[in-house]
Structure 1
Amino acid sequence: MLGKLSGVVIEAVGAVVSKNRVSVEARCKNLLSAKKASRLAKGTGIHKLSIAVPEVCTSDLCYQAAEKIFASGWDRNDIGALIFITQTADYLTPATSYYLQERLHLPKDIIAYDVNLGCSGFVYGIFQAASMLTFLGGRKVLLMVGDTSSRNAFPQDTGLLSIAGDAGAAAIIGSNETSEIVFHIESFGERADMLLVKRGGYRALRLTEGERLTDNIENYCNMDGLGVMAFSLEDVPKNIEQLFEYASIGIEEIELALVHQANSMIVSSLADKLGIQREKMPFRSENIGNTSSASIPVLMSEMQRRGEFKPFRKVLLSGFGVGMSVASAIVDLSHTKVLETGEL
């Protein structure tokens, strides 16, 4: 789906990661020697992982990110809708968004709902928020995204164990007459099994021993690593190139490309594939990990923390992964307030 939505702006972005950082060597100590784990980390560019302590859920990380934004000057009474995008909700039901609405002391006359989505979730969320603004009559959307993906990593498989990190993020989406966002969103359901947690829903219950999950791969995320790599470097570039063509924008006009922080190898290879200078497509998750739908706002917050973020006008956003799905957009971030990465 290619299309444009006018009169929308990303007003603020904040992200929170865990203050508990675990090295890849420590994470994989029962599976790899220190030397092999170090070599693995060098290949992915991820050396430490943000691992939330057991009592911290995705909603807690997102809550802290939202509170940072409200503390920076945004009025919670201006919020007309709350969208919570995650694959690691607090409960099967009700939607976690209702708990967040109460916890954040948001108005009762508000739209609130959850979306089960991963790596493409931030761009999807911007699209959903932008689509609602006319109905909201001047009120704003609080978009909350994130996952505690480390808990879905199979303890006996270094693939996800060495890259999956935990984070939550929040963004305020509002109206601006002069702004326009161009989207390209695609779904590839025939390849949904490439990133699959088979058990935990009603089609297949999780396998347990008492209250403990058994060490069965079906209880955790099963990743087709080669398939995901091929998808990232074949289907994602096509999606982005078609977006540029539709928007009548040359790749050289893009000031910054903020893409899903899968790992540094995928990010740099994607830049090369598209002909975008690597410095324009940064990877800043070396001490955080792949944080699913939160990875783009985490990237923005990390750039702000390092003094790298500027009022960029032509920016590519692209999230891709579980689904399989790709959601890309060209946005103006010159009016966006980005807060430095917080910790919980």
Structure 2
Amino acid sequence: MAQATLRNVRYAGMATCVPKRILSNLDDCPPQLKSARERVVRNIGIETRRICFEWQCFSDLAFDATERLLEELKWERDEIDALIVITQSPDYPIPATAIIMQDRLKLKQTTIAFDINLGCSAYAFGLHVLGSMISAGGIKKGLLLVGDKSATVLEPLFSDAGTCTALEYDPAAPPMHFDLNSDGSGYRAIMLPVGGGREPVGLQHMVPVKDEDGIWRSKGALILDGPAVLSFSTQRVPPAVRNLLDYAECPIEAIDYFIFHQANRMINETIRKKLGLAPEKVPTTLHDFGNTSGASLPVTMTVRIRDALMAGKKKLLLSGFGIGLSWGSCIVDIEGAVFPELIES
């Protein structure tokens, strides 16, 4: 358990972009998979998802989100000192997507730009990394781009999104509190087994095999151990949230909204009930947007509580968990921040 407090860092704004293309798990599936999809909607809670067009990358969504956010913040591009991209869907294996985005966004060449490879827990980790750089005093304004392109037509869980969050140095800003954790012994629970140095892609990985649900998958497809993820999430997240509240000396009643990673309705409901939270304090976007990986926290903030965030000061507890295995939470006070309406690209 790594806990930390960051000072002098203001949450200035956030924008979310999703593809215009919508897939229905009930209507846009082969007839033989209809009953399986009905179970997904009933048990997991995902009915519709957003999927990129063939020509779109995650970075295209993040670019549109960044352009809108900079416009509404009225930030000059030569003010941006750092650009961090967290994704598992880079434009290319090399170079880093952040380097490409620095030029595409016409940021100055002295802008620090780099990628982080992380998924479901990305948002809390990313706020800590960028916030730490700003808190140290050398960086005044920075951008955090988080999201993935992970949706496919046949797979019913994942959805695509790109987000941009702006942080800036402000000695008057309230502190941000973090609790960040990882357990690599469970890395096989969610993994893409081929394509890296351990097992490069070969022809044998391209051959599809019919699984127990009647879906044809290649041997190089994503491995997702549902029971292991369920056990990990429901056992690790509630005590981590309590630990963070204790560390921050913040009563649970002081949190206006708890935003959890949107992976599975059963997981999120179990976490909510274990923490004794009222449903209205735990907004969800699973039904309409599916699992948007690291972007699920900002997606939910934009879609569900944007008006509340713009109406006055709010204290949020943000918690992401999953691939790694990793889990991270943070408490953030938001006041006077900019939140553009949901962007569809």
Fold equivalence (TM over 0.5) = yes
Q: Which residue of 2 aligns with 1:23?
A: 24
8 Å CA contact 1:120, 1:321 repeated in 2: yes
Seen in structure 2, the aligned counterparts of structure 1 residues 241 and 31 have a Cα distance that, compared at 3 Å, is farther
8 Å CA contact 2:284, 2:304 repeated in 1: no
**Which 10-residue stretch deviates more, 189-198 or 258-267?**
258-267
Q: Which residue of 1 aligns with 2:164?
A: 170
Residues of 2 paired with 1:191 and 1:28: CA distance? Answer: 32
Q: Which residue of 2 aligns with 1:59?
A: 59
State the AA in 1 paired with 2:49: L
State the AA in 2 paired with 1:203: R
TM-fit CA distance, 1:42: 2.5
Superposed, 1:286-301 pairs within 5 Å as 286-301=287-302
TM-fit CA distance, 1:219: 1.6
Residues of 1 paired with 2:68 and 2:286: CA distance? Answer: 21
- Large movers: runs of 4+ above 6 Å: none
Q: Tell me the matched-pair count.
A: 333
Residues of 2 paired with 1:128 and 1:314: CA distance? Answer: 20
Residues of 1 paired with 2:229 and 2:22: CA distance? Answer: 26
Seen in structure 2, the aligned counterparts of structure 1 residues 107 and 135 have a Cα distance that, compared at 3 Å, is farther
State the AA in 2 paired with 1:199: V
Task: Please list the CA deviations of residues 115-138 of structure 1 after superposition, one character each: whole Å capped at 9, or x if unmatched.
Answer: 000011111110001111145635
State the AA in 1 paired with 2:17: V
Task: Please list the CA deviations of residues 185-237 of structure 1 after superposition, one character each: whole Å capped at 9, or x if unmatched.
Answer: 0001100110010011121122348xx94435442210010110111111011
Normalised by the length of structure 1, the TM-score is 0.91
Q: Which residue of 2 aligns with 1:205?
A: 200
Aligned residue for 2:148, secondary structure, equals strand
TM-fit CA distance, 1:148: 0.7
Residues of 2 paired with 1:278 and 1:301: CA distance? Answer: 18
Task: Calculate percent identity across the aligned residue pairs.
Answer: 34
1:266 aligned onto 2:261: no
Residues of 1 paired with 2:244 and 2:299: CA distance? Answer: 24
Residues of 2 paired with 1:113 and 1:59: CA distance? Answer: 14
Aligned residue for 1:177, secondary structure, equals coil
TM-fit CA distance, 1:75: 2.1
Residues of 1 paired with 2:277 and 2:229: CA distance? Answer: 21
Q: Which residue of 1 aligns with 2:214?
A: none
Aligned residue for 1:257, secondary structure, equals strand
State the AA in 1 paired with 2:261: H
Residues of 1 paired with 2:68 and 2:86: CA distance? Answer: 18
Residues of 1 paired with 2:167 and 2:101: CA distance? Answer: 17
TM-fit CA distance, 1:266: 2.1
1:255 aligned onto 2:236: no
TM-fit CA distance, 1:168: 0.5
State the AA in 2 paired with 1:317: L
Aligned residue for 1:105, secondary structure, equals coil
8 Å CA contact 1:207, 1:219 repeated in 2: no
Normalised by the length of structure 2, the TM-score is 0.91
State the AA in 1 paired with 2:299: V
State the AA in 1 paired with 2:199: A
Task: Please list the CA deviations of residues 9-54 of structure 1 after superposition, one character each: whole Å capped at 9, or x if unmatched.
Answer: 2111001111100001245426522x44234213222110101111
Residues of 2 paired with 1:75 and 1:38: CA distance? Answer: 48
Task: Please list the CA deviations of residues 82-118 of structure 1 after superposition, one character each: whole Å capped at 9, or x if unmatched.
Answer: 0000011011111111110000000111110000000
**Which 10-residue stretch deviates more, 119-128 or 267-276?**
267-276
Task: Please list the CA deviations of residues 242-286 of structure 1 after superposition, one character each: whole Å capped at 9, or x if unmatched.
Answer: 111111122122111111111333222211111111110110232
8 Å CA contact 2:16, 2:161 repeated in 1: yes
State the AA in 1 paired with 2:83: L
Q: Which residue of 1 aligns with 2:187?
A: 192
Residues of 2 paired with 1:100 and 1:30: CA distance? Answer: 41
Superposed, 1:138-177 pairs within 5 Å as 139-151=140-152, 155=154, 161-177=155-171
Superposed, 1:1-344 pairs within 5 Å as 1-29=2-30, 32-33=33-34, 35-72=35-72, 73-134=74-135, 137=138, 139-151=140-152, 155=154, 161-178=155-172, 179-208=174-203, 213-215=206-208, 217-304=218-305, 307-309=307-309, 310-344=311-345
Residues of 1 paired with 2:266 and 2:171: CA distance? Answer: 38
8 Å CA contact 2:206, 2:218 repeated in 1: no
Where does the alignment leave 5 or more consecutive residues of structure 1 unmatched? 156-160
State the AA in 1 paired with 2:159: G
State the AA in 1 paired with 2:289: I
TM-fit CA distance, 1:295: 0.7
State the AA in 2 paired with 1:147: D
State the AA in 2 paired with 1:162: P
Residues of 2 paired with 1:76 and 1:226: CA distance? Answer: 46
TM-fit CA distance, 1:60: 0.7
Q: Which residue of 2 aligns with 1:158?
A: none
Seen in structure 2, the aligned counterparts of structure 1 residues 30 and 206 have a Cα distance that, compared at 3 Å, is farther
State the AA in 2 paired with 1:69: L
Seen in structure 2, the aligned counterparts of structure 1 residues 99 and 342 have a Cα distance that, compared at 3 Å, is same
